[in-house]
Amino acid sequence: QVYLVESGGGLVQPGGSLRLSCAASGSTAMISAMGWYRQAPGKQRELVAIISSRSTNYADSVTGRFTISRANDKNTVYLQMNSLKPEDTAVYYCNAHWFGSDFWGQGTQVTVSS
């Protein structure tokens, strides 16, 4: 089992920045990749960014604005969000890929509004 807790969400003005954190616990040694997804009302949950030991990947909508990274112990993943837009407003979820399984956090709300 892997347990994930997100933090760092909040209200920010358009053009502002926010950094999300995800702390993993449990059988973290078996995590092969971690990522961030988001879901806005009326929309499907979508991939924002994912990181593994070999690569990173970003949604086209956030490329150049968001950066995903991991702490040295690999148990914490961050999402640095810059140049935020109102359309970035969503609940952001942390994800951990564990062999053939996926584990999810409870989510953190990000609201971009003036």
**In this model, does residue 73 exceed pLDDT 90?**
no
pLDDT given for residue 44 in this prediction:
97
pLDDT given for residue 100 in this prediction:
86
> Quick check: 71 and 31 in contact, CB under 8 A?
no
Instruction: Express each pLDDT in 17-55 by its tens digit.
Output: 999 999 999 999 889 999 999 999 999 999 999 999 899
Please return the burial class of 23, using the count of CB atoms within 10 Å of its CB with bins 0-12, 13-18 and 19+. middle
Task: Determine the average pLDDT of the residues in 68-86.
Answer: 94
Instruction: Express each pLDDT in 82-107 by its tens digit.
Output: 999 999 999 999 999 988 899 999 99
pLDDT tier for residue 7 given thresholds of 50, 70 and 90: very high
- How far apart CA 112 and CA 89 sit, in angstroms, is 5
Task: Determine the average pLDDT of the residues in 55-83.
Answer: 95
> Quick check: 9 and 92 in contact, CB under 8 A?
yes
